[in-house]
A and B are shown apart, each in its own frame.
Chain A
Amino acid sequence: MKLTTLLTSAAMALGLATAAFAAGHEKTKVGFVYVGPVGDGGWTYEHNKGRLAVEEEFGDAVETVFVENVPEGPDAERVMTQMALDGADLIFTTSFGYMDPTINVAKKFPDVKFEHATGYKRADNVSTYSARFYEGRAIQGHIAGKMTKSNIVGYIGSYPIPEVIRGINSAFIHARKANPDVQFKIVWAYTWFDPAKEADAAKVLIEQGADVVLQHTDSTAPQAAAQEAGNVITFGQASDMAQYAPMPRVSSIIDDWAPYYIARTKAVMEGTWESTDTWDGIGAGMVGIGEITDAVPADVKAEALALKESIASGAYHPFTGPINKQDGSVWLADGEVADDGTLAGMNFYVEGIEGDIPQ
């Protein structure tokens, strides 16, 4: 391929230039490709906070660049190529749909390191990383099970993808453990982002009797709906949403990419970067649990914190058998722990959840 050679030679030329001007060109350049706007207050907002943390950590030694609102597909490929051409040493691509574009571009720039979020394709210069948000869901499930009086917990999902289904299962298992009578009502918004629809979904769940609303969508619309209803609790998602504490928001799951981004940037600076597959949770600090407020009774809070500790230390895995699938067949035997492969592609409900996953 002509382009490949051209690009490689361009990259090499740049590399040479870098070497030649070593004194003036010591900065490590880190690129970020975002799927949404940095002002989305959720997914992209948190990735951008990670970027800012990298800048703060290394000061003048790094330069970060980003492009927001990049559609998945050829646009993403172009933006990544452009960053590589401009001399980026490390590029974080922060959406599942960037998987194939990342692999394509990485082939053309063997000397540039790529980090793809939430995907499963790797190469010598492509790592993948993701967060075990389901660990946080387990804690939410426990609090939800203890706190619900109507025994109905509402759950707002975006699309039925493994990430969301895993969260539902984790929350449900732990809600049932805390309260055997609890039922989940699941509403799918079928959109990634439509705050008005999320508000509607939350109101519907509350009207149908839910007094705990869990959400896998990033807006504060459910918090506002819960506040209006009065006696409904919610959890922050992606960001802390502390503006709704102590009620209705009683805790939260926070995406915290900063430790990972800092560590990987450092690895590139020190020349120790290797292709890895990272799936970190509470222990490594990638999943943050926002402060549990006083709206939660002290004993429940203590249990929740103990659960958090045991997950963080690795003593307890939220998917530990015995767990059956929805149809009653055995998934995990007593004491058996789910393997990451099954978790990553999870496409079934566990026993006790009513309704079908939309196919």
Chain B
Amino acid sequence: MDLSVINPVLLIAALMSAATPILLAATGELVAERAGVLNLGVEGMMIVGAICGFAVAVESGSPALGFVAAAAGGALLSLLFAFLTQVTLANQVASGLALTLFGLGLSALLGQGYVGVKPPSMPDVNFGALADIPILGRILFSHDPVLYFGLALVAAVWALLKFTRAGLILRAVGENHDAAHALGLKVVRIRVLAILFGGACAGLGGAYISLIRVPQWTEGMTAGVGWIALALVVFASWKPWRVLLGAYLFGGITQLQLNLQGAGVAIPVEYLAMSPYLVTILVLVILSADKSRAPASLGRIFHASS
């Protein structure tokens, strides 16, 4: 066992990249949930984003265009969920799960011709001399643009919810849709937009896996990340910065356990592999002293006449 082989700087840089798909998807889901919509279809939207992004990036040769397509694909799939839950007033939990099933199948059909293909790679942002600063340069200035976009997105969502009228409206709809309706707010329209935003973010998260982190296309390649993203929203008590914290914590522990294995630490591997989940539970128990709660209308069906 030799812990000195673990380089904390590289570990932090790696966890930032590892956490980005979860971060993107969870931020999108957070906005949807703040509007009172519980969409359990994150995994489905992510994998559809992963293949849409991959296919377009391969065909066009541009990863950036791929990410645009991924966001569009995720949003398009979420539109199905929006129709079911907002127009036909279907149960959100069941619709979300069905969306995941549908998305997994659809992505596999779309991706049939893309197995074993190598996508164009996305270059890291060039910060010039900044990247050469010891420690900080590697951690802060050595990543791809989507990672920075993810961080900016968290900040933007936080600012939107906290300071803008749009954020206030969104929260009002999520807290009490009947009151919001009485105030003349277009509850359904706002929720559809929130769902679309969530879908687009999930799509981006999926494409981050298929275009940057792995990068390749295989069926089912998101391998359950969507569920972790859903859990993180709860973990974060619906607060954007805590989503960031949770994503980094989760990504960090996963990285750490792999690093410990590499260093030959004598803890049984299966217990190390469990650790990200156990630590998440532990932190949640500690955080549950904080009584901030879910949006009051979360998952409830809204109909104007009821």
Residues of A near any B CB (own CB < 8 A): 36-37, 39-42, 45, 154, 160, 185-188, 190-191, 193-201, 203-205, 207-209, 219-221, 224, 239, 241, 243-244, 354-356, 358-359
Which residue of A is nearest B208, CB measured? A196
Given contacts A39-B108, A208-B263, contact A195 B214 (CB under 8 A): yes
In whole angstroms, what is the CA distance A203 to B18 when docked? 11
Whole-angstrom CA separation of A186 from B18 in the bound complex: 20
- Known pairs A196-B21, A243-B117; A207 contacts B223 (CB<8 A): no
* B266 with A207: CB separation less than 8 A: no
Whether B179 sits at the interface, judged by CB under 8 Å, is: no
10 closest pairs, A vs B, by CB?
A243-B118, A358-B269, A194-B223, A37-B219, A190-B273, A204-B258, A195-B214, A39-B219, A207-B10, A208-B5
Besides A204-B262, A208-B7, 20 other A-B contacts (C-beta < 8 A) = A186-B261, A188-B261, A195-B218, A196-B221, A200-B254, A200-B255, A200-B258, A203-B14, A208-B5, A219-B214, A220-B118, A220-B216, A221-B216, A224-B121, A224-B216, A243-B117, A243-B118, A355-B264, A358-B268, A359-B268
Asked if B14 and A193 sit within 8 Å, CB to CB, the answer is no
Chain A to chain B contacts (Cβ below 8 Å), 27 pairs? A36-B219, A37-B108, A41-B218, A42-B218, A185-B264, A188-B273, A190-B270, A193-B218, A193-B220, A195-B216, A196-B223, A196-B225, A198-B214, A199-B214, A200-B14, A204-B258, A204-B261, A205-B262, A207-B7, A207-B14, A208-B259, A220-B214, A220-B216, A221-B213, A239-B116, A241-B116, A355-B264
Contacts of A209 in B (CB 8 A): 5
In whole angstroms, what is the CA distance A24 to B221 when docked? 44
Contact call B220/A37, Cβ cutoff below 8 A: yes
- A219, B216: Cβ atoms under 8 Å? yes
A190 contacts across to B, CB distance below 8 A = 269-270, 273
Q: Are A195 and B268 in contact (CB under 8 A)?
A: no
Q: Mark B240-270, 1 if CB is under 8 A from A, else 0.
A: 0000000000000011001101111010111
Minimum CB distance partner of B111 in chain A: A39
B304 contacts the other chain (CB 8 A): no
With A and B bound together, what is the CA distance between A197 and B165 in angstroms? 41
Task: Check A204/B118 contact, CB under 8 A, given A188-B269, A219-B216, A358-B270.
Answer: no
CB contact under 8 A between A221 and B264, given known A194-B223, A196-B209: no
Contact with A along B8-19 (1 / 0, CB 8 A): 001100100010
Which of B108, B115, B273 sits near A45, CB closer than 8 Å?
B115
Q: Tell me if B112 is interfacial: C-beta within 8 Å of chain A.
A: yes
Q: Tell me whether A356 and B259 are in contact in the complex, defined as CB-CB below 8 angstroms, given that A45-B115, A220-B118, A221-B214 are known contacts.
A: no
Nearest CB on A from B215, distance (A): 5
Q: Are B259 and A41 in contact, CB atoms less than 8 angstroms apart?
A: no
Instruction: Determine the residue in chain B with the shortest Cβ distance to A42.
Output: B218
The chain B residues found within 8 Å of chain A, CB to CB, are 5-7, 10-11, 14, 18, 21, 108, 111-112, 115-118, 121, 209, 213-216, 218-225, 254-255, 258-259, 261-264, 266, 268-270, 273
- The chain A residue with its CB closest to the CB of B261 is A187
Contacts of B6 in A (CB 8 A): 208
**Closest B residue to A209 using CB positions:** B5
User: In the complex the two chains form, what is the Cα distance from A187 to B255 in whole Å?
Assistant: 12
B272 to chain A, nearest CB (A): 9
Q: Are A196 and B268 in contact (CB under 8 A)?
A: no
Taking a contact as CB atoms closer than 8 A, the residue among B118, B214, B220, B268 that contacts A244 in the complex is B118
Q: With the chains together, A201 CA to B117 CA distance in Å?
A: 22
Given contacts A188-B261, A191-B223, A208-B262, contact A196 B216 (CB under 8 A): no
A-chain residues with CB within 8 Å of residue B263 when the two chains form the complex: 208
Q: Tell me which of B11, B112, B121, B258 contacts A39 (CB under 8 A).
A: B112
**Complex Cα–Cα for A220 and B217 (A):** 9
B222: chain A residues within 8 A (beta carbon): 196
Which listed residue, A196, A244, A359, touches B213 by the CB 8 Å rule? A196
Cβ of B16 to closest chain A Cβ, rounded Å: 12
CA distance A154 to B213 in the complex (A): 19
User: Are B116's CB and A243's CB within 8 A?
Assistant: yes
Contacts of B225 in A (CB 8 A): 196
Q: Which of A36, A37, A191, A195 has the most CB of B within 10 A?
A: A195
When distances are taken between beta carbons in the complex, the residues of chain A under 8 Å from B268 are 358-359
B residues in contact with A39, CB < 8 Å: 108, 111-112, 115, 218-219
Central interface residue in B121, B216, B262, by most chain A CB within 10 Å:
B262
B254 with A219: CB separation less than 8 A: no
CA distance A204 to B5 in the complex (A): 10
The CA-CA distance from A187 to B5 in the complex, in Å, is 14
A41→B116 CA distance, assembly (Å): 6
Question: In the complex, what distance in Å separates the CA atom of A191 from the CA atom of B223?
Answer: 10
Residues of chain A contacted by B10 (CB below 8 angstroms): 207
Q: Which residues of B contact A354 (CB under 8 A)?
A: 264
Residue numbers in B under 8 Å from A201 (CB-CB)? 258
CB distance from B186 to the nearest CB of A (A): 39
> Chain A residues with Cβ under 8 A from B5's Cβ?
208-209
Instruction: Assess the A195–B261 pair: CB atoms within 8 A.
Output: no
Cα A187 to Cα B256 in complex, Å, equals 12
B18 and A200 within 8 A (CB): yes
